[in-house]
Chain A
């Protein structure tokens, strides 16, 4: 595989998505492709996979696989994307793996043996009739990998294959990748979390945000020589701990109390107390109901079971009604929610209006709105983008904007669903610093997350949800709600296990610190 001065500009865009890339990769090499967000990693993979049709943009330089353009080598290249939902085609697992084989005209007699072999290679735990809709995210991603492996590609491209997964699911996918790739297969992997990916690769290529390849070489050499510069640029360099931001003061008064709050079948009854000046991390595998808990605490959904009580301090005039019945502007002033997908929350045409919306809705005067918006734009490095359409922002920019919009109304409590997901190290640090400042100013923070480093850096308390609701415990072992002064330690023992996370030894053991870190 050989690129000479390769560049690509999508039709209708002024800026080049990727430019000036010179790169040679030999058969059997395993390359980790890094770069700050917006450096064009995904575009490069799409180009290698022959998925950029000539009429969809403008090309510069050359790109060749075994001396031929990618459009002619498509059947030798396989690619796995980030989102499992939008790469599975069929309703049954085996049919999905067979889909690519049918397309390539593989004789019918060979199809099912190859399907079974591919499923076996990725460690797929079910029969091939298993409905794809019944699989967890990690299982779906392994199935997508099997669908590509069944085609026996020489070049395997993986575009953040584990980004959407919980740590256990991500580990299984990585194990499947390392098992599935043999000496003849060339691998190109895009992955933010370098430490997790290092075991899979023998070469690191870092793209520069301004175009071209910045660094190229074996992982140890690259990180030894350029570690500091790369880390400053937002690359997750392994071995570089980010100093934790512990609370400077003890937790304050309770703002929100969940009393056996649940939403069957998605979330088992959960008890917890959210305190001012404290950051609570909600952990647990995919499907445990973390996001459901976030929208319940955010007053966005009527609880299926139990109740949610806001303190007089938080509820103001609405102390007698539960948060899900508050009027939306009042809610936005008290509890801010940041969703997993920032685009779900954008309602206006510019970044400026997006930030001004909350303050305007809650009745601020125009000069006050302007002051608030300017301050937030500056604080989150969005100044230059004030006039841009929110839908055109990069992932990191959209995330910063969605957090800023929730902060615009200065809510006492901020609830975030996977706030650091897919972020480069620089945005990640900024988010941690921002959240730490908020907490130390007396705000409460609840973050649903898979990100062990985020928990280590920020969380004062953790709450771990499990996937299967446990049977009702005998009454004698359940302390009355509130008897522990609001500390979330009185939860339903096996459905939710809160732990005070002041020191590392009480943090959840799995994947902490992550393998290869330190």
Chain B
């Protein structure tokens, strides 16, 4: 089940910031980290992220629950590198036939895993603390995103949880007709494709109906839209963006100063 609701205390000092500011801050903080392959800069970044978490009103337990797919991804990275890494220099830690685990392999893997966390966590934090409606409003009002796109995406987003229920219903409806794949993998695949097709037909019909209902209430009227919920982008929001950039630069700076900086290119 996809959990779409924000989980933060809405009155936390940073959770209250403008959604566009939070999004920009997350991007400006995470993207520079992509420049290096070393484990030090992302480790510092993660430390910073965990340190500011209470300011966003998110409890560590909640973050952990949200971020568990990242742990799975990290495991995947580790296994892949251990099996396929090209650079197997350094001290040999384990020699099991074709698999040779060396200190370099583990260091590279550690760097990648930390990078994964450092880059993904800001996004997790932003979406955990932001109401989708507020984000769409702010994108339209502060980032000049087209309303047709932002509000349209928001409306479609609301229909997503329905798809899961719809899938279950279609599968049951087919079983009632005597249609079931059993253990045959080919039959399973064919049934999956045809169920997905039925789901798609239904989703398109529902989407079309929603689009008609939206246009019937003037979504395509062409007059300039007014806004019922004003989103402010103030000094505190600018400060958040600037601080995020500064912290990212600082993390990279420490890495350079310690001599561990390994540029991605060159």
Contact = CB atoms under 8 A, between A and B. Distances in A.
A409 B178 contact: yes
Given A89-B214, A344-B169, A362-B178, 20 more contacts: A74-B218, A79-B216, A87-B213, A89-B210, A90-B133, A95-B133, A102-B227, A102-B228, A103-B221, A115-B228, A132-B158, A133-B158, A295-B172, A327-B182, A328-B174, A328-B178, A328-B179, A331-B175, A333-B178, A345-B174
B201 to A, nearest CB: 7
Contact of A85 (B162, B201, B212, B229): B162
A406 B151 CA distance: 42
Given A102-B227, A151-B218, A81 B209 contact: yes
B209 A87 contact: yes
B217 A148 contact: yes
Interface in B112-159: 131-133, 151, 154-155, 158-159
Interface in A58-117: 74-75, 78-79, 81, 83, 85-92, 95, 98-108, 111-112, 115
B217 A347 contact: no
Contact of A99 (B177, B194, B202, B217): B217
Interface of B: 131-133, 151, 154-155, 158-159, 161-162, 169-170, 172-180, 182, 194, 198, 201-202, 206, 209-210, 212-219, 221, 223-230
B217 to A, nearest CB: 4
Interface stretch (A251-259, A335-343, A436-444, A447-455): A335-343
B227 A108 contact: yes
A215 interface: no
A344 B173 contact: yes
Nearest first, the 9 closest Cβ-Cβ pairs linking A and B are A332-B178, A328-B180, A100-B217, A103-B218, A337-B176, A87-B213, A98-B228, A344-B173, A300-B172
25 contacts: A51-B215, A74-B221, A75-B221, A81-B212, A86-B210, A87-B209, A89-B214, A99-B217, A102-B225, A108-B228, A112-B228, A133-B158, A148-B217, A328-B177, A329-B178, A329-B180, A331-B176, A337-B173, A339-B172, A343-B198, A344-B202, A345-B177, A347-B177, A347-B194, A391-B201
A335 B175 CA distance: 11
B114 to A, nearest CB: 35
A49 interface: yes
B211 to A, nearest CB: 9
A64 to B, nearest CB: 19
A78 B218 CA distance: 10
A301 interface: yes
A358 interface: yes
Contacts of B230: 108
A339 B169 contact: yes
Interface size class of A (residues with CB under 8 A): 35 or more
B176 A106 contact: no
Contacts of A226: none
A406 to B, nearest CB: 7
Interface centre among B177, B178, B201 (most CB of A within 10 A): B177
A344 B178 contact: no
Contacts of B201: 343, 391
Interface centre among A86, A108, A409 (most CB of B within 10 A): A86
Nearest to A157: B216
Contacts of A101: 226, 228
A132 to B, nearest CB: 8
A328 B218 CA distance: 48
A377 B210 CA distance: 35
A357 B217 contact: no
Contacts of B175: 300, 328, 331
Interface in A308-345: 327-329, 331-333, 335-337, 339, 341, 343-345
B179 A357 contact: yes
Contact of A331 (B178, B219, B223): B178
Interface centre among B161, B218, B227 (most CB of A within 10 A): B218
Contacts of A347: 174, 177, 179, 194
A336 B229 CA distance: 51
A103 B219 contact: yes
